[in-house]
Chain A
Amino acid sequence: MAERLAGTWTLTRLALRRDRVLLPAWILGFAGMAGFSAAATVGLYPDESQRISAAEAVNGSGALVALYGKIYDPTSIGQLSLFKLTAFGAALTAVLMVFVVIRHTRADEESGRLELMAAGRVGRWAPLAAALIVAFGASLALGVLSALALIAAGLAVPGSFAFGLGWGFTGIAFAAVAGVCAQVTTGARSARGIALLLVALAYAVRAVGDLSEGSWLSWLSPIGWMQQVRAYAGDRWWVLLLPLALAVVCLPIAFALRERRDVDAGLIGDRPGPARGRMSNVLGLAWRLQRGSFWGWCAGFAAFGLLLGSISDTVTGFLDSPEIQEFLKQLGGTQALADAFLATELSFAGIIVAAYGISAASRLHSEEVEGHAEMLLATPTSRIAWAASHTVIALLGVAVILLVAGLAIGIGNAIAVGDTGSIGKLLVAALARVPAAWVLTGVVLLVFGWLPRWIPAVWAVFVAALVLGEFGALWDLPQWLMDVSPFVHSPRMPAIDSSSTGLLPLTVVAVVFIAIGLMGWRRRDLQAN
Chain B
Amino acid sequence: MAPVIDMRAVVKRFGSTVALDGLDLQVDAGEVHGFLGPNGAGKTTTLRILLGLLRIDAGSVEILGGDPWSDAVELHKRLAYVPGEVNLWPHLTGGEVIDLLGRLHGGLDEQRRARYLEMFELDPTKKARTYSKGNRQKVALVSALAADVPLLLLDEPTSGLDPLMDARFRECMHEFRDNGGTVLLSSHILSEAEALSDRVTIIRNGQAMESGTLADLRHLSMTKVIAVVDHVPEGLAAIAGVHDLQVHDGRITCEVQDAGMGPLMAALSGGGLQSLTSQPPTLEEVFLRHYQDGPSDG
Contact = CB atoms under 8 A, between A and B. Distances in A.
Contact of B77 (A274, A374, A380): A380
Interface in B74-94: 74, 76-77, 79-81, 83, 85-93
**Which 4 pairs from chain A and chain B are nearest by CB?**
A277-B96, A371-B87, A277-B99, A273-B93
Interface stretch (B124-132, B159-167, B189-197, B229-237): B124-132
B98 A525 contact: no
A380 B105 CA distance: 6
A280 B106 contact: no
Contact of A280 (B48, B77, B103): B103
Nearest to B76: A380
Q: Interface residues of A toward B: which range? A: 35 or more
B104 A110 contact: no
A379 B127 contact: no
Contact of B48 (A186, A289, A526): A526
B73 interface: yes
B252 interface: no
A374 B101 contact: no
27 contacts: A110-B129, A186-B90, A187-B91, A270-B129, A272-B125, A272-B126, A273-B95, A274-B95, A276-B99, A280-B100, A281-B103, A281-B104, A285-B100, A371-B83, A371-B85, A371-B86, A374-B48, A374-B83, A376-B101, A379-B101, A380-B73, A523-B55, A524-B55, A525-B53, A526-B48, A526-B53, A526-B54
B127 A270 contact: yes
B140 interface: yes
Interface string A356-387: 00000000000000111011111111110000
Nearest to A382: B73
B91 A378 contact: no
Nearest to B99: A277
Contacts of B55: 523-525
B73 A275 contact: no
A279 interface: yes
B97 interface: yes
Interface in B96-138: 96-101, 103-106, 123-127, 129-130
Contacts of A278: 96, 99
Given A375-B87, A525-B53, 18 more contacts: A186-B129, A270-B126, A272-B127, A273-B125, A275-B93, A276-B96, A277-B99, A282-B104, A374-B48, A374-B87, A375-B81, A375-B140, A376-B101, A377-B72, A378-B153, A381-B73, A382-B73, A529-B85
B225 interface: no
Contacts of A370: 87
A377 B51 contact: yes
A374 B51 CA distance: 9
A290 B51 CA distance: 27
Given A270-B127, A285-B100, A379-B105, A374 B93 contact: no
A17 interface: no
A528 B49 CA distance: 12
Contacts of A282: 104
Contacts of B91: 187
Size class of the B contact interface (CB-based, 8 Å) = 35 or more
Contacts of A375: 81, 83, 86-88, 101, 140
Contacts of A281: 103-104
Contacts of B53: 374, 377-378, 525-526
Interface in B10-39: none
A385 to B, nearest CB: 9
A289 B96 CA distance: 12
A279 B129 contact: no
A378 B80 contact: yes
B92 A288 contact: yes
Nearest to B144: A378
A378 B140 CA distance: 12
Interface of A: 110, 186-187, 264, 270, 272-282, 284-285, 288-289, 370-372, 374-383, 523-526, 528-529
Contacts of B124: 275-276
A201 B92 CA distance: 30
B96 to A, nearest CB: 3
Nearest to B47: A378
A453 B180 CA distance: 43
Contacts of A381: 73, 76, 104
Contacts of B92: 273, 277, 288
Contacts of A277: 92-93, 95-100
B89 A289 contact: yes
A374 B123 CA distance: 24
Contacts of B73: 380-382
B99 A279 contact: yes
A378 B93 CA distance: 20
B179 to A, nearest CB: 21
A370 B53 CA distance: 15
Nearest to B93: A273
Contacts of A523: 55
Contacts of B44: 528
B95 to A, nearest CB: 4
Nearest to A279: B100
Contact of A378 (B81, B123, B126, B130): B81
Contacts of B51: 377-378
Contacts of B90: 110, 186-187
A216 B140 CA distance: 57
A50 B126 CA distance: 67
B95 A382 contact: no
B87 A372 contact: yes
B93 A272 contact: yes
A290 to B, nearest CB: 11
A382 B125 CA distance: 29
A525 B99 CA distance: 27
Nearest to A284: B100
Interface string B259-292: 0000000000000000000000000000000000
B182 to A, nearest CB: 16
A389 B129 CA distance: 23
Nearest to A288: B92
Pick the most buried of A279, A288, A529: most chain B CB atoms within 10 A of its CB: A279
B235 to A, nearest CB: 56
Contacts of B86: 371, 375
A376 to B, nearest CB: 7
Given A187-B91, A280-B100, A280-B103, A273 B76 contact: no
B104 A380 contact: yes
B45 to A, nearest CB: 8
A280 B52 CA distance: 23
B93 A379 contact: no
A284 B100 CA distance: 9
Contact of A382 (B72, B83, B106): B72
Contacts of A288: 92
A375 B99 CA distance: 13
A379 B124 CA distance: 21
A187 B200 CA distance: 42
Nearest to B140: A375
Given A372-B89, A381-B73, A274 B96 contact: yes
Contacts of A272: 93, 123, 125-127
Given A270-B127, A274-B95, A525 B104 contact: no
A523 B54 CA distance: 9
